[in-house]
Structure 1
Amino acid sequence: MAQSIDMPLEKQGAKEKGPSLIGGACIIASVCVGAGMLGLPSAGAGAWTFWSIVAISLTMAVMTISGWMLLEAYKSYDLKASFNTVTKDILGEKVNLFNNLTVYFVGGILLYAYITSSGLILQDMLGVSSQISSILFVLVFSIFVWHSTRAVDRISVVLITFMILSFVFGVSGLAVNVDFAILSDSINSNASYTPYVLAMLPVALTSFGYHHSVGSMRSYYGDEKRASKAILLGTSIALALYFLWLFSIFGNLPRTDFVPIIEQGGNIDALLGALGSVIESERVASAINTFSMAAILSSFIGVGLGVFDYLADLCKFDDTKQGRGKTWAVTFLPPLVLSLLFPFGFVIAIGYAGAAATVWTCIIPALLVYKARKTNTDENTFKAPGGNAMVYGVIAFGVLTAVFHFMSMVGFLPAFTG
């Protein structure tokens, strides 16, 4: 994933000021928040406020540590080494092939979900069909990924800033109208919440699925310690935004109002439509819509960068205009075509992504660091916390999250129906 770390269209090796932590943190946060912001309210409707907060807090902690495990596993390799290179070297060809398939599947299905959602939101704004809107969205905004990581850094900072401003304005409008009876669901005294937490975990895991960008962060900063700080800051920004978002949504939209949204697969236009029915101010509603579009765009660019760099390394495309054009095609065209042919619900897509993502966000990072520690015993270099107990804990979390998803698919876990 390291192909585009330095500006490929400029002279390599130029002396520049080192990248700031906030720039890298914004890339990590932008990868997370699109899926999380737009998927968590519907996914967490059954668990509701308290248990949703518990689920995403636990997930954030585990996913931050598993990202640090990847950094530790990378530390004996060249800064340009990717997830693909390190996994093949430490765990072997067969494990690496399976890991590659899950990385591409998750990255592709996230891009697919963002492309589909952007089309649904933009069709009314542009006055064209959702399919045409999706095509225009990809053609215009994937250019930042094609250009360089520095371009993604710059646009990510702009988008995160823009998201925060529209989020603050929109959430402030929601927050002043929060009804604590709705937030606590006190009107349903006999309601059950805990049975729905397990089915929520795959979407929560996807909400912190930045791991395909870890190699990019390490190469971008030049060392593991600075990259680890950017990762922690990025996941913390995402978690804080999730808290505020869920508080505002669950405090305004009654639990039972999520039933028709869930029936439509958790599509973003359905969620925004339901919110519009309870928001009295048109300016607040516009701010929420603007925030949602910015969240999709920032995550599209952030996820696109990770998949782009990963496929560039995997396919051995060179770092030229022509080579990057090939990488652009294999990164963005498959999810665009699938989005046009087979659109389906946003939360459904995110759930599938979460189940597959357990492989390369939890299981593989833990296995990599477990084996790497046997050959690299230098205690003075970067090391993820928790020892082997944390390694086993991360693996268990990943396996159980995948199991919960498949249990939910076949009806072994309760589904919220109102």
Structure 2
Amino acid sequence: MTTIATSVKTTKQPSLVGGACIIASVCVGAGMLGLPSAGAGSWTIWSILAITLTMVVMTVSGWLLLEAFKHYDLHVSFNTVTLDMLGSKVNFFNNLTVYFVGGILLYAYITSFGLILQGSLGLESKTASVLFVAIASSVVWHSTRAVDRVSIILIAVMLLSFIFGVFGLTVKIDMSILMDAVNQQGEYAKYAMALLPIALTSFGYHHSVASMRGYYGEETKAKYAILGGTLIALTLYVIWILSIFGTLPREAFGPVIAQDGNVDVLLKTLGGVVESEKVSQAINIFSVAAILSSFIGVGLGVFDFIADLFHFEPSKRGRSKTWLVTFLPPLILSLLFPFGFILAIGYAGAAATVLTCIIPALLALKSRQRENGNQGFMVSGGKFVPFAVLAFGVATAIFHFLTMLDLLPVFKG
């Protein structure tokens, strides 16, 4: 009996729900906290359109990575695949991009968590940031399954606090505010271009694609876990956008934008229009859970990437080396040079176009040129799909740099 039970236990496959929760948790931290401020210019309709378009493209681009990875061992990541398919120069640039995007996202979460705890618990922000990294990163150091379990718990906490907090907001939604009726001459579409880099980062789960493939042992289940995760994220984003934009007038985002979209400023501004203290607390709990879940999700992807890049062993000593390279640099930078959340996410979004759109498209096209490239897992749609993903990534990067040069309209409040 013991032998049979052990055999069944060891052959049990991971659930799609767990994988979807990992993908969703990677996404929602940046999205939930960054999209309201970044979308204040394009407002309700154009923000939702931009977010939905981005979700579709980013889901497909993750599938393109799976298609390229099918030729390799289950434990490889960007480094091995890109080096073999696209050469050392492209691989070097891609490695820099992967680490930069992952690092700056971790940096943004560490800084934001410290600011939130400073306001809610009275802790000094730097002390809170150090404690946050020490506790949260230990989950990533332990194992992918630990991240799975913690992600499910955090998603449950986010859903409960989200339901309670958003319900308190939805009952106060004013359609005139939601549709910005007071501003009859308002312009919205022109601000959507500046939103795309933030929206792209809000679906930036691609650090975890290789982890998902290794977790399930094949591409098809990983595909559906990715789709489930991005759908969960999109649903939460739309509900959140409707709740925030239906409660907080467009001009009220001026002070938040002036502080580079810092999360603590957004929460304080939102708290000023929420009459119920319990609702305000629920929103704060949600924000903390969102940052924590994204931190461990992104951390897992970067952790696996670093282990593959430097060939660190999966022993305790090897995982400790990987931990140092993954988490110590963003923590130090957060302590020395804290700056605005939206500013950090914007830079991450521009750089992320390389690893989330450009490289996946190039890898998929290269994969199909191989002798067995048309066998096994493939994304339908022919060459149109990778070229469309490539074009979206290039356009998004251009929009970010045009915004930084003040060549695109930016909403100031």
| Alignment TM-score, normalising by the size of structure 2 | 0.97
Residue 372 of structure 1: how far off its partner (Å): 0.6
1:127 is the counterpart of 2:122: yes
**Letter of the aligned partner of 2:39 in structure 1?**
G
Residue 70 of structure 1: how far off its partner (Å): 0.3
Structure 1 residues 304 and 350: CA distance shift in structure 2, 3 A: same
The separation in 2 between residues aligned to 1:126 and 1:281, in whole angstroms, is 19
**Letter of the aligned partner of 2:130 in structure 1?**
I
Which residue pairs with 1:360 in the alignment? 355
Which residue pairs with 1:263 in the alignment? 258
Structure 1 residues 306-358: Cα deviation after superposition (integer angstroms, max 9, x where no partner) = 00110011111111111111111111110001001100000000000000000
**Letter of the aligned partner of 2:58 in structure 1?**
M
Which residue pairs with 1:156 in the alignment? 151
Structure 1 residues 279-331: Cα deviation after superposition (integer angstroms, max 9, x where no partner) = 01000000000000000000000000000110011111111111111111111
The separation in 1 between residues aligned to 2:67 and 2:129, in whole angstroms, is 38
The answer as to whether partners of 1:65 and 1:385 remain within 8 angstroms in 2 is no
Structure 1 residues 165-185: Cα deviation after superposition (integer angstroms, max 9, x where no partner) = 000000000001000000000
1:192 is the counterpart of 2:187: yes
The answer as to whether partners of 1:145 and 1:152 remain within 8 angstroms in 2 is yes
Which residue pairs with 2:100 in the alignment? 105
Which residue pairs with 2:28 in the alignment? 33
Which residue pairs with 1:18 in the alignment? 13
3-state DSSP of counterpart to 2:57: helix
**Letter of the aligned partner of 1:290 in structure 2?**
I
Residue 376 of structure 1: how far off its partner (Å): 4.3
The answer as to whether partners of 1:110 and 1:350 remain within 8 angstroms in 2 is yes
More deviation in 67-76 or 375-384?
Answer: 375-384
The answer as to whether partners of 2:119 and 2:264 remain within 8 angstroms in 1 is no
| Alignment TM-score, normalising by the size of structure 1 | 0.96
1:275 is the counterpart of 2:244: no
Residue 78 of structure 1: how far off its partner (Å): 1.2
1:53 is the counterpart of 2:37: no
Structure 1 residues 184-222: Cα deviation after superposition (integer angstroms, max 9, x where no partner) = 001100010011000000000000001111000001001
1:374 to 369, 373, 396: 369
The separation in 2 between residues aligned to 1:380 and 1:74, in whole angstroms, is 13
1:42 is the counterpart of 2:37: yes
Unpaired stretches in structure 1, ≥5 consecutive residues: 1-10
1:168 to 142, 151, 163: 163
1:291 to 286, 296, 299: 286
Which residue pairs with 1:241 in the alignment? 236
The answer as to whether partners of 1:126 and 1:133 remain within 8 angstroms in 2 is no
Which residue pairs with 2:325 in the alignment? 330
- Runs of 4+ aligned structure 1 residues displaced above 3 Å come to 376-380
2:213 to 199, 214, 218: 218
Which residue pairs with 1:116 in the alignment? 111
Which residue pairs with 1:318 in the alignment? 313
Structure 1 residues 129-150: Cα deviation after superposition (integer angstroms, max 9, x where no partner) = 1011100100111100000000
3-state DSSP of counterpart to 2:14: coil
Which residue pairs with 1:7 in the alignment? none
Residue 124 of structure 1: how far off its partner (Å): 3.4
**Letter of the aligned partner of 1:173 in structure 2?**
G
The answer as to whether partners of 2:367 and 2:373 remain within 8 angstroms in 1 is no
The answer as to whether partners of 1:144 and 1:301 remain within 8 angstroms in 2 is yes
Residue 378 of structure 1: how far off its partner (Å): 5.7
Which residue pairs with 1:4 in the alignment? none
1:146 is the counterpart of 2:141: yes
The answer as to whether partners of 1:110 and 1:349 remain within 8 angstroms in 2 is yes
The separation in 2 between residues aligned to 1:183 and 1:282, in whole angstroms, is 23
Which residue pairs with 1:3 in the alignment? none
1:229 to 208, 224, 229: 224
Residue 77 of structure 1: how far off its partner (Å): 1.0
1:62 is the counterpart of 2:52: no
1:203 to 198, 207, 230: 198
The separation in 2 between residues aligned to 1:125 and 1:175, in whole angstroms, is 24
Which residue pairs with 1:5 in the alignment? none
1:85 is the counterpart of 2:98: no
Pairwise CA RMSD? 1.3
**Letter of the aligned partner of 1:371 in structure 2?**
K
The answer as to whether partners of 2:194 and 2:403 remain within 8 angstroms in 1 is yes
The answer as to whether partners of 2:261 and 2:340 remain within 8 angstroms in 1 is yes
Percentage of identical aligned residues: 66
The separation in 2 between residues aligned to 1:196 and 1:42, in whole angstroms, is 12
Structure 1 residues 67-126: Cα deviation after superposition (integer angstroms, max 9, x where no partner) = 000000011111112111111000011100000000000000000000000000011343
Structure 1 residues 125 and 276: CA distance shift in structure 2, 3 A: closer
**Letter of the aligned partner of 1:60 in structure 2?**
M
Unpaired stretches in structure 2, ≥5 consecutive residues: 1-5
